[in-house]
């Protein structure tokens, strides 16, 4: 029982009973009664009694399952053609149909045996055995197809029954198998799409570029194959529809039977289902494909971010290593060249960082699903770029101040050395004369005029101006030079005082002195004694 319950329950299809259908002991010609009831015909068949019960039940069950529920609910009309047979065949047919017909019956028409004796027996038999057939519907015995035409329009009967309805059993089987195959194709295709969609929905997004590219490629290939399957299915349905409509296409006077019209409706409905399935699948695929592409964009962005971030970190680390502000003009100029080289070296990673941040912002504007992951990285990239730019400017400012400081210190030191040299070069013996003293004073005054150009500002202003870069070493050096300036200035002050005294001493007027008479026997002219 468990095994039976676990088996797939599905309706019969033509391919399951293809051999039994080909025997043609029962047909659904497509004709209808006046109220639209489907007609099942049991043509003359010599071995009807020998048909296994299972085969009979399968065929009849299958035929009753084909008409629409609306038509089947009206009830089936059965026509039993036994014109060339005996009463026993009529009885056997009625008994089998009564006992095994699965559908809702409306009427049973029996074309009784045409031979006189068998017809008489049939008339008597139907009266005697009517109740034995256990049929709740009328059984109408007919002598000829003309009598049948009184109940059913000739257009709904096949040529064998004197009608005009075109029916080819082989073609009918071909159409039925084709329709059922197409229905199975539609079902299988829908299941494949659903399975693929489920797989896509349950797929975890990879964390690296390569795996994401491989997944995107695999899913795209699978999607293309399924789209090809869909195209083939649609083509199959369209071809089938053309085949069913072929009689009408071939002849304007032809009309499709109600069953054929139902076949057309069935195929059109299946094509519509296929179209709806494809549209739903396309919508889902569009979203999934976009997510995969955005995932790949994100993985590329993250990979590039790691590379750029590493380059920026190295750049910032190198910049942090430039803590030295120099202890001389030469050293500061060297540091400025190194800073310039670092700035030039940083241009490429900075441009990459700015470009990557711009790309990230474009991803955000395009409604990327990972906005919360992308935005902080863009902010961080721009922050590091700004930090490097600001730090570079600060470094240049510090080194510029340092260069100015050391140049001033060097000029002051050089001025001191030049002053000392000047003082040392003024020979004492030459300064004893008025001319020599005045010349020395002029030299000193000229030299002191250059003091404003070469000397440092007063200590208070100096410290205020360079306070930010005054390391203990630089401050000590500045104090030493300031002290030296003070000492040299003092030396100049003392030299000036001495020279001024010497110049003033030689410029005093000399009183004339009369010589003693005994010093010279002759009158001598007066002489002016020159100062030593």
At the topology level of CATH, where does 304-404 sit? Answer: Methane Monooxygenase Hydroxylase; Chain G, domain 1 (1.20.58)
The answer on pLDDT for 428 being more than 80 is no
pLDDT of res. 2: 42
Look up tokens 């259908």; give the residue.
Answer: 21
Q: What is the pLDDT of residue 524?
A: 41
Domains 174-293 and 304-404 share a fold: yes
Check residue 180 and give its pLDDT.
Answer: 92
The SS3 call for residue 38 is strand
State what percent of residues in the chain have pLDDT above 70: 87
Question: What average pLDDT does range 145-171 have in this prediction?
Answer: 91
Indicate the domain borders of the chain: 14-165, 174-293, 304-404, 406-503
Between residues 522 and 242, the one the model is more confident about = 242
pLDDT of 129 reads 46
pLDDT in tens, 296-316: 999 999 999 999 999 999 999
174-293 fold = Methane Monooxygenase Hydroxylase; Chain G, domain 1 (1.20.58)
Residue 434: predicted pLDDT:
82
DSSP letters, 97-142, are HHHH--S-EEEEEEE--SSHHHHHHHHHHHHHHGGGGT-SS-EEEE
Q: Which of 187, 167, 134 is closest to 259 using CA atoms?
A: 167
> 464 versus 161: which is more confidently predicted?
161
Examine the pLDDT at 272 and tell me if it is beyond 60: yes
Distance of alpha carbon 483 from alpha carbon 502, whole angstroms: 29
**pTM of full prediction above 0.95:** no
Distances from the Cα of 518 to the Cαs of 34, 514, 523, in angstroms? 193, 12, 11
Tokens representing 46 are: 């010599």
Find the helix or strand (DSSP H, E) in which 60 lies.
helix 53-65
Report pLDDT for 515: 46
Half-sphere exposure of 431 (CA within 13 A, CB side): 20
| Between 256 and 42, the higher pLDDT residue | 42
Tokens 């699978």 -> residue: 222
SS3 per residue for 377-437: HHHHHHHHHHHHHHHHHHHHHHHHHHHHHHHHHHHHHHHHHHHHHHHHHCCCCHHHCHHHH
| CATH label, 14-165, candidates 3.40.50.10420, 1.20.200.10, 3.40.525.10, 3.10.450.50 | 3.40.525.10
Q: Which of these, 323, 298, 274, 347, lies nearest to 469 by C-alpha position?
A: 323
Alpha-carbon torsion angle 268, 270, 271, 272, nearest 10: 90
Is residue 40 a contact partner of residue 64, using CB atoms and an 8 Å limit? yes
H-helix or E-strand containing 76? strand 76-81
Tens digit of pLDDT for each residue in 451-477? 777 655 566 777 777 777 788 888 888
- Alpha carbon distance 471, 463 (integer Å): 11
Phi, psi angles (nearest 5°) of residue 387: -60, -45
Question: What is the average per-residue pLDDT within 155-179?
Answer: 92
How far apart are the C-alpha atoms of 63 and 465, rounded to whole Å?
109
Is it the case that residue 520 has pLDDT exceeding 50?
no
Q: Is 39 helix (H, G, I), strand (E, B) or coil?
A: strand
d(CA 123, CA 132): 15
């Amino acid at each position: 029982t468990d095994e039976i319950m676990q088996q797939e329950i599905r309706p019969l299809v033509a391919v399951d009973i293809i051999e039994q259908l080909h025997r043609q002991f029962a047909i659904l010609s497509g004709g209808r009664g006046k109220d639209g009831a489907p007609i099942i015909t049991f043509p003359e068949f010599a071995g009807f009694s020998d048909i296994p019960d299972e085969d009979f039940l399968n065929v009849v069950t299958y035929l009753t399952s084909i008409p629409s529920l609306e038509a089947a609910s009206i009830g089936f009309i059965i026509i039993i053609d036994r014109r060339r047979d005996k009463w026993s065949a009529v009885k056997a047919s009625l008994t089998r149909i009564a006992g095994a017909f699965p559908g809702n019956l409306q009427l049973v028409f029996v074309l009784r045996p045409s031979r006189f004796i068998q017809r008489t027996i049939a008339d008597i038999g139907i009266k005697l055995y009517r109740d034995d057939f256990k049929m709740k519907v009328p059984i109408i015995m007919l002598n000829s197809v003309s009598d049948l035409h009184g109940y059913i329009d000739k257009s709904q009967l096949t040529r064998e029954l004197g009608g005009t309805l075109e029916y080819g059993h082989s073609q009918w089987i071909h159409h039925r198998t084709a329709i059922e195959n197409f229905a199975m194709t539609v079902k299988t295709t829908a299941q494949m799409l659903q399975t693929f969609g489920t797989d896509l929905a349950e797929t975890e997004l990879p964390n690296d570029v390569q795996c994401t590219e491989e997944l995107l490629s695999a899913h795209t290939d699978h999607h293309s194959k399924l789209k090809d399957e869909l195209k083939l299915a649609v083509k199959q349905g369209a071809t089938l529809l053309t085949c069913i409509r072929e009689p009408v296409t071939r002849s304007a006077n032809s009309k499709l039977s109600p069953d054929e019209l139902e076949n057309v409706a069935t195929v059109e409905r299946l094509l519509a289902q296929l179209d709806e399935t494809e549209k739903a699948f396309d919508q889902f695929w569009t979203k999934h494909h976009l997510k995969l592409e955005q995932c790949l964009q994100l993985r590329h962005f993250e990979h590039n971010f790691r590379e750029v971030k590493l380059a920026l970190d190295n750049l910032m680390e190198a910049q942090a290593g430039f803590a030295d502000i120099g202890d001389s003009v030469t050293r500061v100029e060297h540091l400025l060249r190194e800073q310039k080289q670092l700035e030039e070296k940083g241009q490429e990673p900075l441009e990459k960082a700015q470009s990557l941040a711009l790309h990230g912002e474009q991803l955000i504007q395009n409604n990327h699903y990972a906005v919360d992951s992308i935005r902080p990285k863009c902010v961080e990239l721009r922050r590091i770029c700004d930090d490097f730019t600001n730090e570079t400017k600060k470094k240049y400012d510090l080194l510029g101040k340092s260069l100015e400081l050391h140049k001033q210190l060097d000029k002051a030191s050089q001025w001191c050395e030049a002053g000392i040299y000047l003082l040392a070069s003024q020979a004492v013996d030459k300064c004893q004369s008025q001319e020599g003293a005045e010349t020395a004073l002029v030299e000193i005054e000229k030299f002191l005029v250059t003091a404003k150009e070469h000397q440092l500002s007063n200590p208070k202003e100096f410290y205020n101006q360079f306070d930010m870069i005054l390391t203990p070493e630089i401050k000590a050096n500045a104090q030493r030079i300031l002290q030296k300036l003070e000492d040299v200035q003092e030396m100049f002050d003392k030299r000036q005082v001495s020279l001024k005294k010497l110049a003033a001493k030689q410029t005093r007027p000399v009183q004339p002195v009369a010589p003693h008479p005994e010093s010279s026997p002759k009158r001598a002219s007066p002489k002016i004694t020159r100062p030593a």
